[in-house]
Structure 1
Amino acid sequence: MKILQIVPSISLIYGGPSQMVMGLSAALASQGVEVTILTTDSNGDFGQAPLDVPLDKPVPQDGYQVRYFRCYPFRRYKFSLDLLRWLWAHAKDYDVAHIHALFSPVSSAAATIARQKKLPYILRPLGTLDPADLQKKRQLKQIYAALWEKPNLAGAAGIHFTSKQEAKISERFGTNPPDIVIPLGVKSLKMPPKGEARQRWGITDNQPLLLFMSRIDPKKGLDLLIPALERLLASGVNFHFVLAGTNPQDPDYENQIREEIKASPLSSCTTITGFVTGESKLALLQDADLFVLPSYYENFGIAVAEAMVAGTAVVISDQVHIWSDVKGADAGWVCSCEVEALTDALREALADVGEQERRGSNARDYALNNYSWDAIANLMIQAYREVLSKPSSVGRN
């Protein structure tokens, strides 16, 4: 089986949704699937240098290959004419295309080419069909959907949702493609010794470490978290807050959050690390007593799953769409998107170290059993085979 994974970028700077494609590709390759990722050299939207990678050449990686293409003429939108030309010429060589991201010009155009070339394709919307997300640039998205995404959805062999909740609430613009509900995967993490993050950032052992590690974006609920933490601090609750993340697409909002914390009583017990990866990321997950993500909408929450596999209990909103998994596994605390509810959940979680440890252990067990890449790859291979068994996938050019 030959599968194309098409994604606007796999740069670390764009976070989990892009990185997931590499994890999936490696897991598929380990089970004998021939996988090629088509992507661009985009490495940020505000003047950052592009990725230093070979262009339009197969780059071997973890059993699969990546083909990078130069972003042009619209670098800001991760668009590549060369990628689309390559797809037009080589679509016939593949069995299925798995296209990641809607409302992204290169993904939208790729789906159109796949349809014209009769290459069956699956779309993964990355939360862009969530009604809350569709409110952003609403009029522009309505036009874009009418011209591009509605016919792309109508012609898809399936939509890859990462949770039942995402599938339940997502807009389909009057189309009816099959739902394919398969979660994202996480790999078992080799954690560093405890204490490395505390030592690096000067956080004392007598302060519970509360970690937010995600893209700094309005949808992540920082406007709930900051006042909730201020309330806890004012009532005498002891903690140290670590804000780890950045926003390559909206640095103004990131700066706004930084200035808000700087002017807040939280400044005395907050560390802002910026973007972290590798050993620094693992060290923070290892030392965190709680992981918090009170998002207004989150189609899966890969950062939450990573915290769980690290054995860290989580405090999340009920709009992070794996909340039912967390609640069912007793792997953390779930609350509504309200300051008072988040304050109460954090207060309860911070008050009991033993409960943090118990729920963290539950979180690790659940994540390893249900979000392992081997299990996800098996489900995805089955989905690809079902796509190929349908009459619509027969008689291609």
Structure 2
Amino acid sequence: MRILNICAYTWAIGGPARIIYDHTTEVLAQGHQVDILSPMTPGEKSYPLPAGARLIECPRSTPISNYYREFSIAMYRYLKAHIQEYDVIHMHGIWHFGSLAPFLLPNHAVLVITIHGLLDHWAVNHSKWKKQLVTLLYQKRLLGKADLIQINNTDEEQDVIRYLGYRPKNMVIVPNGMKASEYANLPEKGIFRSKYGIATDKRMILFMGRLNIKKGLDLLLPAFLKIHEQVPEAVLVLAGPDDGYQTQTENFIKAHCLENKIKLVGMLTDTVKKEALSDADMFALPSYSEGFSIAVLEAMTSKVPTLVSDRVGFGDYIKRYEAAYLAPLTVEGVAEGLLKILQDQNYAETRVKSAYRMVTENFDIKVVANQLLEEYKKVKKI
């Protein structure tokens, strides 16, 4: 098969780019061809490309793309010229031009949409008027026309049913995956702490994700404020690019004189990210909305005790395996979870073991890549 993924394939987009990378690596190994069509803003850094794949970068068309995500005349022109070459066109996410364009052109490809959590309550209500307009114009109709809708879990299944008003027959649950083997041998401890001036006697709480309110930073920051006097050795490391919440974060740090307690280190990639995971005493992501958090899987595979909400994309698995502290979406709930992991070593160690088993049994990329390929084949048109 020749497969085209459509996604903003950049470091800034986070999880979806990583998911495409890992899945593509496995698909190429089985003899398929993979292209990635990516709308790009000038200055954006593309995500690494697996050997054998091809990346087609398309500049976004401003000013329209400032209001309609990923709008790109160059993308449309590429599809118009080449869409007949593909057996599968896999669109990642909704609400943007990349999930509309393939439906505008005649083709024989299997049209696949992965929701990536973008129909949960929080996501639908964010920029609500724009999404209501897109819904009215085309979004519901196109979801019904897709040959395959990939969702990651039963929560997302309910989100789609609520949005459409029915359960589409073309919807399948296939979780995202990751290369667990990449986290088997982390860098030596102490490297990240040395780079960022974090002493070895400090308890390092790691947050990795875009600095966006949907990640629960409005809960995590005041929760840390509540507990830092009880655990004076605690340090909170916020690792991620600004996505609308950095100014509020900096103001919070300044207002509460936490400059020595909370560190903004920007986006971490490759080896530096693994150095941070190696040095972390715990990981925290009390998110309001995630399609399927690869960052959480990375922490769990790195054997870091983890605090999350049940909205990270696989809350049902976490409950079943007792794989993390599932915090309610309140400041008090997050604060209690921070204290539980930092102060109860047996609890933390038990959760680490359960989490590692959960990831390796359910989310290793070799397992889930084959599941998705089989779903492609079931609806293949030629």
TM-score between both structures, scaled by the size of structure 1: 0.88
| Change in CA separation of 1:62 and 1:368 when aligned onto 2, cut-off 3 Å | farther
CA distance in 1, matches of 2:4, 2:242: 28
> 1:5 corresponds to which residue?
5
Letter matched to residue 43 of structure 2: A
Contact 1:224 1:294 in 2 (8 A): yes
Q: Please, which of 381, 389, 394 is the counterpart of residue 373 of structure 2?
A: 381
Q: Which moved more, 1:379-388 or 1:320-329?
A: 320-329
Report the alpha carbon displacement of residue 238 of structure 1 after superposing the two structures with TM.
3.5
Q: What SS does the corresponding residue of 1:267 show, helix, strand or coil?
A: coil
2:80 to 80, 83, 88: 88
CA distance in 2, matches of 1:177, 1:103: 21
Residue 221 of structure 1: how far off its partner (Å):
0.9
Residue of structure 1 in register with 2:116 after alignment: 126
Q: 1:139 matched to which residue of 2? A: 129
* CA distance in structure 2 between the aligned counterparts of 1:273 and 1:224, rounded to whole angstroms: 19
Pair 1:162 & 2:157 matched:
no
Matched, 1:324 2:319: no
The corresponding residue for 1:275 is 267
> Within the alignment, does 1:197 sit opposite 2:189 as a pair?
no
2:96 aligned with 1:104: yes
Instruction: Please say which of residues 298-307 and 71-80 is displaced more in the overlay.
Output: 71-80
SS at match of 2:236: strand
- Does the Cα contact within 8 Å between 1:5 and 1:36 map onto a contact in 2? yes
Between the aligned partners of 2:163 and 2:359, the Cα distance in structure 1 is 30
Residue 209 (structure 1) aligns with: 204
Deviations 1:143-197 (A, max 9, x none): 1112121221111012111222122223443462522211112112241011111
Which of 255, 266, 276 is matched with 1:263 structurally?
Answer: 255
- Number of matched pairs: 374
| 1:1-397 map, 5 Å | 1-7=1-7, 9-42=8-41, 49-51=43-45, 61-73=50-62, 74=64, 76=66, 77-113=69-105, 116-170=106-160, 171-174=162-165, 176-187=168-179, 188=181, 189=183, 190-236=185-231, 238-248=233-243, 250=244, 253-388=245-380, 393=381
Q: Deviations over 1:15-43 (max 9, x none)?
A: 1123321221111111222211112233x
Whether contact under 8 Å (1:5, 1:100) holds in the other structure is yes
Amino acid at match of 1:20: I
In structure 2, distance between residues paired with 1:145 and 1:222 = 29
Helix, strand or coil at the partner of 2:172: strand
Contact 1:162-1:183 within 8 A present in 2 as well? yes
Q: Distance in 2 between matches of 1:51 and 1:204?
A: 32
- Structure 1 residue ranges without an equivalent (≥5): 43-47, 54-58
1:50 deviation in Å?
A: 4.7
Separation in 2 of the partners of 1:101 and 1:18?
11
With over 3 angstroms needed to count, the CA separation of the structure-2 counterparts of 1:198 and 1:50, relative to structure 1, is closer
Name the SS of the counterpart of 2:164 in structure 1.
coil
Aligned pair in 2 of structure 1 residues 183, 94: CA closer, same or farther (>3 Å)? Answer: same
Matched AA of 2:219? L
What code does the residue aligned with 1:144 have?
V
Does the CA-based 8 Å contact 1:153-1:172 persist in structure 2?
no
Do the aligned residues in 2 keep the contact of 1:128 with 1:134 (CA within 8 Å)? yes
Q: Which amino acid aligns with 1:133?
A: A
Q: Give, in whole Å, the separation in 1 of the partners of 2:263 and 2:344.
A: 23
Q: Is the 8 A contact 2:110 2:376 kept in 1?
A: no
Percent identity for Structure 1 against Structure 2: 29
Look up the equivalent residue of 1:173 and give its one-letter code. L
Measure, in 2, the Cα distance between the counterparts of 1:123 and 1:177.
14
Distance in 1 separating the partners of 2:315 and 2:176: 14
Following superposition, the deviation at residue 276 of structure 1 comes to 1.2
**Residues 210 and 241 in structure 1, CA contact (< 8 A), matched pair in contact too:** yes
Structure 1 residue 241: Cα displacement? 1.0
On the 8 A contact 1:318/1:337 being kept in 2, the answer is no
Q: Displacement of 1:379 after TM fit? A: 0.5
Question: CA–CA distance in 2 between the matches of 1:19 and 1:196?
Answer: 24
Go from structure 1 to structure 2 and tell me whether the alpha carbon gap of 1:140 and 1:69 turns closer, same or farther (over 3 Å shift): closer
Rounded to whole Å, the distance in 2 between the matches of 1:268 and 1:292 is 19
Paired letter, 1:124? T
The match for 1:45 is: none
- CA distance in 1 between counterparts of 2:338 and 2:5 reads 39
Q: What is the match of residue 56 of structure 1?
A: none
